[in-house]
């Protein structure tokens, strides 16, 4: 937890014409890129429109029934339509939450969580396989970052969830980039992914329905503010001051809280959108009413909303969660200081709902099996 990576992770696939096992991955391409790719192979451009539409409905080549069989066979031999599959799913017994274990074509796995609210279904997706940020309360970072996901793989997570919801006549209405990984550490692919979400003829998801969570890569927050992409920015703050934040978040050793909040102010100014401040309550670390008052002082006169999260304990860490009394006391102090705040609704607790827990259990299980086989 002593160092922070220099914002970059190796092996980020280039989805605009990238290859996987000598196959071109079409999922991360925009419509015009798919049309151009088809034309380069002597196929009519309008077939590219059809392929693009099928891909965004979560279909593989065999299911593209308005294409000639010979064309489907040609596509199968040269391209990939769906680079992600759901290898397992876990259903909560206490609510309608489903946790997906997604598998990439290279065997790596990431997690997604599908949550049902009164306004529809929200999906939390991963942007990297693991994470380099080293936050002390998070299971995603325990093995570091294996690689970043491509735009097509991130889109694949959404397409799989939409396919899962089809039998209910539903689809994903809200999207949260808050699973494994730091989205702004995978900046270019995440930007491509966001633009794919709203492309006509695709899934056409409004970016106002998308939230992006960052631990505070200040330069990237400012860059995002200039992208003209109206996503909701969530800042993982988790501390009332730099001293506490540096103990639990290595990123705080690179950028101060003031720098992070100033970047959020710039985001608010440029986009006109409220910023969400994520705050995981950790017993004996950041959860006293005095710390609530200190936090309120830092956020005063900002267009923010604080989302309080009782810590979901990770057994490999020594941090403890808080009682309901502590949550209420912290929340009431923020409200008394005129800071908008709510307690996050807990969902999927019985299915390892916190990001990183499921993937880690799978990694440990595979390791145990390998050891037994040896």
Catalytic residue numbers, as ranges: 111, 355
Q: Is the dihedral of CA 289, 293, 294, 298 positive or negative?
A: positive
98 in Cβ contact with 88 (< 8 Å): no
89 in Cβ contact with 101 (< 8 Å): yes
Q: Which of 177, 180, 186, 178 is nearest to 131 (CA)?
A: 180
Residues 6 or more apart whose CB falls under 8 angstroms from that of 183 comprise: 127, 177, 190, 212, 213, 214
Residues 6 or more apart whose CB falls under 8 angstroms from that of 151 comprise: 15, 28, 189, 190, 192, 193, 196
> For 218-311, where are the alpha helices, taking DSSP H only?
218-225, 242-248, 257-271, 289-299
How many Å separate Cα 205 from the centre of its chain? 15
DSSP 6: -
DSSP 148: E
DSSP 347: -
């Amino acid at each position: 937890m002593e160092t922070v990576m220099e914002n970059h992770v190796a092996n980020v696939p280039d989805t605009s014409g990238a290859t996987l096992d000598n196959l071109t991955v079409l999922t991360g391409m925009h419509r015009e890129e798919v049309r151009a790719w088809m034309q380069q192979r002597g196929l009519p451009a309008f077939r590219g429109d059809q392929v693009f539409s099928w891909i965004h409905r979560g279909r593989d080549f065999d299911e593209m029934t308005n294409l000639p069989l010979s064309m489907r066979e040609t596509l199968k031999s040269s391209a990939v339509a769906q680079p992600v599959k759901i290898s397992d799913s876990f259903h909560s017994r206490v609510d309608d939450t489903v946790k997906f274990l997604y598998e990439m074509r290279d065997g790596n796995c990431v997690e997604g969580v599908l949550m049902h609210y009164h306004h529809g279904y929200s999906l939390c997706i991963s942007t990297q396989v693991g994470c380099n940020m080293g936050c002390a309360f998070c299971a995603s970072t325990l093995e570091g970052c294996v690689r970043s996901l491509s735009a097509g793989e991130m889109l694949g997570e959404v397409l799989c969830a939409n396919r899962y919801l089809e039998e209910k006549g539903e689809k994903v209405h809200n999207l949260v980039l808050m699973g494994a990984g730091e989205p702004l550490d995978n900046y270019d692919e995440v930007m491509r992914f966001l633009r794919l979400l709203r492309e006509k003829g695709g899934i056409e998801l409004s970016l106002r329905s998308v939230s992006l969570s960052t631990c505070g890569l200040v330069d990237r927050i400012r860059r995002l503010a200039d992208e003209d992409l109206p996503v909701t920015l969530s800042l993982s703050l988790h501390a009332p001051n730099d001293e506490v934040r540096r103990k639990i978040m290595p990123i705080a050793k690179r950028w101060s809280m003031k720098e992070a909040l100033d970047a959020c102010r710039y985001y608010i100014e440029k986009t006109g959108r409220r910023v969400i401040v994520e705050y995981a309550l950790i017993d004996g670390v950041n959860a006293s009413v005095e710390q609530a008052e200190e936090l309120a002082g830092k956020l005063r006169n900002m267009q923010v909303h604080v989302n309080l999260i009782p810590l979901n304990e990770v057994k490999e860490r020594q941090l403890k969660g808080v009682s309901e009394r502590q949550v209420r006391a912290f929340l009431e102090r923020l409200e008394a200081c005129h800071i908008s705040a709510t307690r996050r609704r807990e969902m999927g607790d019985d299915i390892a709902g916190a990001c990183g827990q499921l993937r880690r259990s799978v990694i440990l299980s595979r390791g145990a099996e390998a050891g037994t086989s040896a």
